[in-house]
Structure 1
Amino acid sequence: MARPHIDWIQAQALPWRHDAIAARPGAEGKILSVDDQTGAASCILRYPPAYARAAEWLSADEEFWVLDGAIEVDGVEYGEHTYAHLPRDMPRSSFVAPRGATVLTFFSAAPLPSPGGAGRTFDGRRLVRRLSAADNVWDGDFEAMGLESMRSTARMRTLRKDPDTGETTYLTATIAFRQGERSERHPVVQEFFLLSGELSGDLGTMQAGAYCWRPPMVKHAPYGSWTGTLLLFRSIGGPQTTTWEDPDQPFTWTPAHRPVLPPELAPLMATPWPRPARY
């Protein structure tokens, strides 16, 4: 997969770009990472009030989490903290953002719009029409991912598991003052976005809005959080499992700031990202 190792960058440091995604003309976007071979992209899209698209089909899976505002797809409303996975070639009768919205979005390939779709079919097994975090469902399998040690200090919710590849999208919520002790490796890409909270690890301290694309088998962690965290994870290339190792350095609440970034992004994270004001 032709994406650079990004571990980690604050989305707030990235610029908004007009028409960043061809399939969403008129929306601004922040590109978190992109595969220069397939066009697959992870991004944040900001839709202005009254944004609308007519009936269409996309050439890529569209997976999203609404950060704020609301969108409607086929008349189904997605407000803040809702999730969906819409398979490629799935017909959409409409896509609108009546009051505007900001949406964390993942496309599995270049999301090229198609004006017609007669005779197309899509894989309904891969559809997740709508899930809401407010349902308060925490059904994730820590044991299957090799994360049993987190069971007493965290909760997990599976949002999607691909029926063919086993790729998984899930939420993890950790309690305040949780502190890890060991490092991890995973045989697949691990991608995440920090939805809320503060997270300290071996490469520095992340604030809400932090994004990571980590290649397979890269050693990372331990992590800890004074605030507790809510993270959206994706495993790319198969199901996620975990190998545990002793860390190169013991966990600290005040780690050195040394994110791993491609040269064009490194200047944006030259110094630690400030904590948001609380009062």
Structure 2
Amino acid sequence: MREHIDYIQAQHLPWEQADQLGFDVARMKLLSRDDETDALSCILSVPAGWTRAAGSLPFDEEIYVLDGALIVDGSNFLAHSYSFLPTGYQGNAFSSETGATLLYFRSEQMAQELASDAEKIRARLVRHIDLSEGQWDGDFDQFGLGSMKAGARMRVLRQDPVSGETTYITATIAFRRGEKAERHPIAQEFFMLAGELSGPLGTMQAGAYCIRPPMAKHAPYGSPTGALILFRGFGGRQETFWEEADPFTFYPTHQPILPDRLKPFSKLQAPQPRY
């Protein structure tokens, strides 16, 4: 089971070598990890000239390029490009001519029958999505988030036909504010790609990371600037249960929920003076 983190600014986390992931000469910032299954989420930085050979792997991989450029199975991934590579998929060669920084998610080891079922591999694969192309066509209602439609848009990146798990992006307009708290029956993590977001535990800025266990209460949220956020759920299909909450404020007290290993960074999370 992963630790409850709500929230940490990734800018303050240390870089470490990523050879434990099989990525020679790459560096990572570990966001969260399940010590029982080795599933993990991290920021991965690869240098210019870096490569990884293709091969059948016993786990799923998800990537989202934050900056630089990555080549995945011959396709060029620029910033805000996404891919989901299911277990058993062999078109997973990576390289970078210039270097790249990306969000990298690895699942627990998947059942062997998934790795050998060509039809399921094809159905689960999301080869390449460029967020600068296409439409914000996601339907908030299917996740029980219909109340967000007035001030936000959604882009669904994947809906797994086997597990029901979903990864999506939301973009909110400036000064949108929520009114109720939420709970989900699955674990959910998110990473702030841009903007600012205020909630009961403080004000998050670009680079903020959260991961919550099933049914953890959170929200309401609001943003004075607008926000771009990547959400990733695991453990099944996402639903949302709403309940009453304290009144929302754009100026919350800084009081994040952090495991002991991250508490030394807590005082660094509060927004710094702008002027």
Q: Provide the C-alpha distance between the structure 2 equivalents of 1:254 and 1:20, rounded to a whole number of angstroms.
A: 41
Residues 1:3 and 2:2 are matched in the alignment: yes
User: What displacement does 1:233 show?
Assistant: 0.3
Q: Give the aligned partner of residue 153 of structure 1.
A: 151
Q: Give the aligned partner of residue 57 of structure 2.
A: 58
Amino acid at match of 1:25: D
Q: Is there any run of 5+ residues in structure 1 with no aligned partner, and where?
A: 112-118
User: What displacement does 1:110 show?
Assistant: 6.5
Q: Give the aligned partner of residue 226 of structure 1.
A: 224
- Between 192-201 and 235-244, report the one with greater CA deviation: 235-244
Amino acid at match of 1:144: Q
% same residue: 54
Query: Given the two structures, how large is their TM-score scaled by the length of structure 2?
Result: 0.93
Provide closer, same or farther for how the CA distance between residues 260 and 36 of structure 1 changes in structure 2, counting only shifts above 3 A.
same
Amino acid at match of 2:56: W
User: What displacement does 1:56 show?
Assistant: 2.6
- Out of 116, 126, 131, the residue aligned to residue 133 of structure 1 is 131
Secondary structure in 2 matching 1:267: helix
| Contact 2:12-2:268 at 8 Å conserved across structures | no
| Contact 1:207-1:275 at 8 Å conserved across structures | no
Give the number of aligned pairs: 269
Q: Give the aligned partner of residue 39 of structure 2.
A: 40
Q: Give the aligned partner of residue 267 of structure 2.
A: 270
| Contact 2:254-2:270 at 8 Å conserved across structures | no
Amino acid at match of 1:72: I
Amino acid at match of 1:127: L
User: What displacement does 1:20 show?
Assistant: 5.1
- Out of 206, 209, 218, the residue aligned to residue 208 of structure 1 is 206
User: What displacement does 1:273 show?
Assistant: 3.4
User: What displacement does 1:38 show?
Assistant: 0.5
- Between 120-129 and 169-178, report the one with greater CA deviation: 120-129
- Map of 1:23-102 to 2, 5 A cutoff? 23-92=22-91, 94-102=93-101
Q: Give the aligned partner of residue 115 of structure 1.
A: none
User: What displacement does 1:269 show?
Assistant: 1.5
1:24-74 Cα shifts (integer Å, max 9, x gaps): 121000110000001001001000011112333322111010000011121
Q: Is there any run of 5+ residues in structure 2 with no aligned partner, and where?
A: none
Provide closer, same or farther for how the CA distance between residues 138 and 90 of structure 1 changes in structure 2, counting only shifts above 3 A.
same
Query: Given the two structures, how large is their TM-score scaled by the length of structure 1?
Result: 0.91
| Contact 1:10-1:273 at 8 Å conserved across structures | no
Q: Provide the C-alpha distance between the structure 2 equivalents of 1:268 and 1:220, rounded to a whole number of angstroms.
A: 21
Provide closer, same or farther for how the CA distance between residues 97 and 231 of structure 1 changes in structure 2, counting only shifts above 3 A.
same
User: What displacement does 1:22 show?
Assistant: 2.4
Write 1 or 2 for the structure with the bigger share of helix: 2
| Contact 1:177-1:227 at 8 Å conserved across structures | yes
Amino acid at match of 1:15: P
